[in-house]
C-alpha cells in the first residue's frame, strides 16, 4: 500500500478553535432559556456541518465532511423542524440537540481539524479498470441470483455490487473522453436501483448509493470550484423531500394509511432525549456494552440461537414503547443514544474518541490507498472500500453500531467474495540496481503491459553490459 504523502497534510487550523466558545454559548443559551429551546444549538450545528463539509478535504468529499453534513440534517434541521411545530418544544429535543452539538464539536476539534488534501484518484491502466467493472457487475449479479433464490441478503449484495459498479464506472472515466461517463453512470445506477431493487424499506440505502457516486466523482475533480460539493449541498433539500414522498407512498400502498415521511429524519433527535428521561424515571438500567456485543453477533443466524440479542433499534422500541415490542418495529436514536444506553453520560467520552478516530482512520486509509496512480487490483479494492465506508458512515450516525455493521457487512460480503475469487497474490518485481527507473522493489500487477516492458528492458540492459 502506498505511503501517505506528507505534502497532502497541512498543520492544524488554529482559527477553527472559535467553534468551541460558539458551541458553548449556544448550548448554554438553550439550556438556560425560560422555555425549552434548540434554536441556537440547531443553527450552530448547521453552520458547523456545512463549514466542515465544504472545507475538509479541499475538492474531495471526506468521511468527516459526510458525518458533519449528516449532523446538520439530523441535529440542525431536525431541531428547527421541532421548533416550528405548534405547541411547546418537547424537552427531549433540547437534550438531543445540545448533546449532539457538543459531541460533534469535540470530534471536530480533536480529530478532524487538520485540513487534509487528497491527491486526485487515478486508475490509468485499462486492465485494472476492466477488472473493477467485472467486480461490480459480478457482485450485482450474485445479489440478483440470491434474490431469485429468496435469500434475504440478496438485495444487500446487489446494492454493494451497484456501489462497486458506480466506483468502477466513474474511475473508468478517468481516461480520455470519460467525462460524460463519470457524470451519467452514477445517475443511471441510482435510478436503476430506485426503480427495480428498492422495496420501500431502508431509504438510507438510496442516500448511501448517491453518496458513493458523489464521493467518487469528487476524487477526480482537480479544479478549485468544488463542483461536486456544490451539487451535493444543492441536492440535500430535494433529496429530503423525495425521501419523505417515498415513505408516504410506501405506507399508503402497504397499510392503506399515509404516514409522515419526515419522522425518520426528525424523530431520532427526540428519541435520544426520551431515552435519557426514561432512565431518570427508572425504566431501564445501563447495559454496559451489550448492544455492541449484539452488533458483533449479527452474523450468527437466529435459527441457531433463538435468544440471540436483538439490535439496538429493537432495544429502543422495547424500552420506550413496550406495546410495540415484538412487532418488528425498530427505532433510531442517533449514535450517542447507544453510548448513553450502555454507559450513561460517561459513555459519551469514549464515543467521541472512538468515532472520531474511526472517521479519521477511514480518511487516512483512503488517502493511503489512492496516493498516486492505482496500478493493481488490491490497491483499487482498498480505495473502493475506503470510499464505501465514507458513504456508509451516515448509517452509524443515524442509528449506531448495529445498523452500520449489519448494512456494511451484508452489502460488502458479495464484493469481498468476488474479489477473493478473482485475485491472486501479486508477485514482487525486482528492478536491477543499475536500472534508471528505480532502485527498490516495486509491486506491479502482472497483467499490466508496463510490467512486461520494464522487465524486458531491464534484462536487455543487463545483457548489453
Q: What is the pLDDT of residues 203-240, one digit of tens each?
A: 888 898 889 888 888 887 766 788 899 999 999 999 88
Neighbours of 317 (CB within 10 A): 21
pLDDT value of position 178:
59
pLDDT (0 to 100) of residue 257: 66
Give the pLDDT confidence score for residue 423 in this predicted structure.
66
Q: Is the pLDDT of residue 395 over 60?
A: yes
Give mean pLDDT, residues 305-316: 86
Give the 3-state secondary structure of residue 334: coil
Catalogue the long-range contacts made by 20-25 (C-beta closer than 8 Å, 24 or more residues apart): 20/105, 20/109, 23/48, 23/101, 23/102, 23/105
List the one residue out of 107, 103, 395, 108 whose CA is nearest residue 268.
395
pLDDT for position 52: 94
pLDDT over 70 at 352, yes or no? yes
* Average pLDDT for 75-101: 93
On the CB side of 104, how many CA atoms lie within 13 Å of its CA?
39
Mean pLDDT of 149-168: 85
Burial of 35 (0-12, 13-18, 19+ CB in 10 A): exposed
For range 162-190, the mean pLDDT? 72
Residue 287 has pLDDT above 80, yes or no: yes
Tell me the average pLDDT of the chain: 81
* Residue 435 pLDDT exceeds 60: no
Instruction: Extract the C-alpha cell encoding 418.
Output: 468476488
Instruction: Give the whole-angstrom CA distance, residue 210 versus residue 261.
Output: 19
Instruction: Report d(CA 149, CA 135) in Å as an integer.
Output: 21
User: For residue 222, what pLDDT is reported?
Assistant: 67
Residue 173 has pLDDT above 80, yes or no: no
Query: Backbone phi, then psi, for 327, in 5-degree steps?
Result: -90, -5
Over residues 411-429, the pLDDT tens digits come to: 888 888 888 887 654 444 3
When pLDDT is cut at 50, 70 and 90, the band that residue 440 belongs to is very low
Dist CA 44 CA 46 (whole Å): 5
Q: Which of 105-114, 253-262, 369-378, 424-433 has the lowest mean pLDDT?
A: 424-433
Check pLDDT > 60 for residue 386: yes
Compare 435 and 359 and report the one with higher pLDDT: 359
pLDDT value, residue 441: 39
Residue 193's pLDDT band, with cuts at 50, 70 and 90, is confident
CB neighbours of 215 closer than 8 A, spacing ≥ 6? 60, 61, 66, 387, 390, 391
CB count in 10 Å sphere of residue 40: 22
Confidence at residue 436, expressed as pLDDT on a 0 to 100 scale: 37
Amino acid at each position: 500500500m502506498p505511503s501517505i504523502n506528507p505534502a497532502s497534510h497541512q498543520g492544524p487550523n488554529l482559527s477553527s478553535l472559535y467553534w468551541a466558545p460558539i458551541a458553548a454559548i449556544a448550548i448554554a443559551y438553550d439550556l438556560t432559556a425560560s422555555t425549552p429551546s434548540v434554536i441556537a444549538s440547531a443553527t450552530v450545528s448547521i453552520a458547523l456541518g456545512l463549514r466542515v463539509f465544504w472545507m475538509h478535504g479541499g475538492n474531495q468529499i471526506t468521511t468527516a465532511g459526510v458525518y458533519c453534513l449528516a449532523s446538520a440534517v439530523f441535529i440542525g434541521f431536525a431541531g428547527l423542524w421541532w421548533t416550528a411545530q405548534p405547541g411547546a418544544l418537547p424537552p427531549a429535543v433540547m437534550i438531543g440537540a445540545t448533546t449532539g452539538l457538543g459531541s460533534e464539536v469535540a470530534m471536530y476539534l480533536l480529530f478532524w481539524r487538520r485540513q487534509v488534501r487528497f491527491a486526485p484518484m487515478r486508475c490509468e491502466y485499462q486492465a485494472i479498470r476492466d477488472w473493477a467493472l467485472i467486480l461490480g457487475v459480478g457482485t450485482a449479479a450474485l445479489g440478483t441470483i440470491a434474490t431469485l433464490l429468496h435469500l434475504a441478503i440478496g438485495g444487500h449484495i446487489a446494492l454493494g455490487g451497484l456501489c462497486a459498479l458506480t466506483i468502477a464506472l466513474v474511475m473508468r472515466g478517468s481516461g480520455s473522453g470519460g467525462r460524460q461517463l463519470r457524470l451519467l453512470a452514477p445517475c443511471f445506477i441510482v435510478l436503476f436501483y430506485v426503480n427495480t431493487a428498492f422495496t420501500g424499506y431502508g431509504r438510507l440505502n438510496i442516500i448511501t448509493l448517491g453518496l458513493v457516486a458523489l464521493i467518487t466523482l469528487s476524487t477526480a475533480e482537480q479544479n478549485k470550484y468544488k463542483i461536486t460539493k456544490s451539487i451535493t449541498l444543492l441536492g440535500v433539500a430535494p433529496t429530503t423531500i423525495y425521501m419523505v414522498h417515498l415513505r408516504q407512498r410506501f405506507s399508503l400502498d402497504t397499510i392503506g394509511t399515509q404516514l409522515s415521511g419526515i419522522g425518520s429524519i426528525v424523530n431520532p433527535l427526540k428519541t435520544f432525549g426520551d431515552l435519557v428521561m426514561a432512565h431518570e424515571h427508572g425504566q431501564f438500567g445501563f447495559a454496559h456494552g451489550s448492544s455492541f456485543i449484539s452488533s458483533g453477533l449479527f452474523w450468527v443466524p437466529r435459527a441457531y440461537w433463538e435468544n440471540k440479542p436483538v439490535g439496538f433499534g429493537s432495544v429502543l422500541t422495547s424500552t420506550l414503547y413496550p406495546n410495540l415490542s415484538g412487532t418488528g418495529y425498530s427505532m433510531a436514536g442517533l449514535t450517542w443514544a447507544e453510548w448513553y444506553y450502555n454507559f450513561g453520560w460517561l459513555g459519551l467520552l469514549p464515543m467521541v474518541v472512538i468515532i472520531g478516530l474511526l472517521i479519521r482512520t477511514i480518511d487516512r486509509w483512503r488517502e493511503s490507498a489512492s496516493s498516486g496512480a492505482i496500478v493493481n487490483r488490491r490497491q483499487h479494492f482498498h480505495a473502493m472500500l475506503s470510499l464505501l465506508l465514507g458513504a456508509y458512515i451516515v448509517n452509524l450516525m443515524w442509528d449506531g453500531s448495529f445498523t452500520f455493521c449489519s448494512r456494511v457487512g451484508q452489502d460488502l460480503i458479495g464484493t469481498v467474495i468476488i474479489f477473493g475469487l478473482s485475485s491472486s497474490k501479486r508477485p514482487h518485481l525486482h528492478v536491477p540496481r543499475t536500472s534508471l527507473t528505480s532502485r527498490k522493489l516495486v509491486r506491479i500487477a502482472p497483467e499490466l503491459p508496463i510490467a512486461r516492458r520494464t522487465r524486458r528492458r531491464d534484462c536487455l540492459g543487463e545483457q548489453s553490459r
